[in-house]
Structure 1
């Protein structure tokens, strides 16, 4: 698929998918469809990247680098409630000197996001899952203040050697939690005494209450 030349073209392309099932989208794109997501966890995101013309691949930049827009699929149920937290980025556990909210990767990733909600209840077969109305979002001052506050709290805990004590309850709208394909994947962090140790990689995730708020605001759902 050719790369969209403007934000408006990208949004129009995304909104043209609203009401289509994943099977219909995959068929139009001539992409083979897995039976389920057990071995293909990121398949929906990859399908949408392909049909919308994303070009970043695995490079550390927005999915649409020339537009500065990140693509996020958002699994929701029939009542438009998000079904899971939303991964933002891997969290650095070392080398945090000089990093602040203004220059951190999380702020860059969330500067401009194309959200594509997909009705994905477990009872719906993958082929029949349907794209709801996509929307473009940038954080309002209030939303950014919440994100910045959580990022600072979580990053301070990492810097102070408290990474092992960070749990899902930390953060109002964003949390830090293990992000690894398996428990053998380890990365370096520092304990309270400044000694290095190996731990699971961590990722920043948007909590369900935050994405629910965005759906409510942009799609006027309850």
Structure 2
């Protein structure tokens, strides 16, 4: 079975920078709109195919594995900006108490990320251009990583001292721990990359 590493996936995706994912979806017989409603996951399905992940292909084993993440970007004042925050990982309170940042599931997810910036053309649009592809391959001494670690450890210590319910999206410069799930009263929480971190990831790929 053919294996696709993170580096190979990025190499494959870079060939499609500037192309419309909607047109590519048609080539791969991926449904964009069904029964008048947009298939929410269609962009991810197209990106997987472009990365080289097909039925007879698997991701590489630990150390070289990756996760595709697409985030919509919008044009505002002649600048390309992220439309939304980016989910990183769900928070397990016991794991968060126990795991320091570099031993955490959150860091494992971040460093394996293949980040795909796609153009936002409206909720019902069948078009979305692939703008940029990069990975979260920062050097261990990078100041940004240290600041993300600081956010994580602040949130971790807050959980230990004040409990799970004390976690709020207001905490953290680059990442935040906020509720995940529809409606009021949701108790589950997840780590999210703030918009400015999403933009920073995009900027380092230029």
Q: Compute the TM-score of the two structures, normalised by the length of structure 1.
A: 0.75
Report how far residue 157 of structure 1 moved: 1.7
Tell me whether 1:215 sits opposite 2:187 in the alignment. no
Cα distance in structure 2, aligned partners of 1:151 and 1:96: 9
Deviation of the 1:216 alpha carbon: 2.1
* 1:28 to 2:15 alignment: no
1:12-161 map, 5 Å: 12-34=11-33, 40-54=39-53, 64-66=59-61, 67-78=64-75, 79-122=79-122, 125-140=124-139, 141-161=142-162
Per-residue deviation, 1:125:
4.4
1:128-181: per-residue Cα shift (whole Å, max 9, x none)? 221112123313421211111111111222222343333322101000111125
Report the Cα distance in structure 2 between the residues aligned to 1:210 and 1:72, rounded to whole angstroms: 14
Return 124-133 or 74-83, whichever deviates more: 124-133
Whether the 8 Å contact between 1:4 and 1:53 is mirrored in structure 2 is: no
- Two-structure CA RMSD over aligned residues (Å): 2.8
Q: CA 1:22–1:125 in structure 2 vs 1: closer, same or farther (change >3 Å)?
A: farther
TM-score by length of 2: 0.81
SS in 1 for 2:90: strand
Name the CA shift for 1:163/1:7 in 2 (closer, same or farther; >3 Å). Answer: closer
Distance 2:174 2:13 in 1: 26
| Equivalence for 1:169 | 170
Which position in structure 2 is the counterpart of 1:206? 193
Tell me the alpha carbon deviations over residues 75-125 of structure 1, each in whole angstroms, 9 at most, x when there is no partner: 101332011101000011235453211211001011132111000143x74
d(CA) in 1 for partners of 2:18 and 2:35? 20
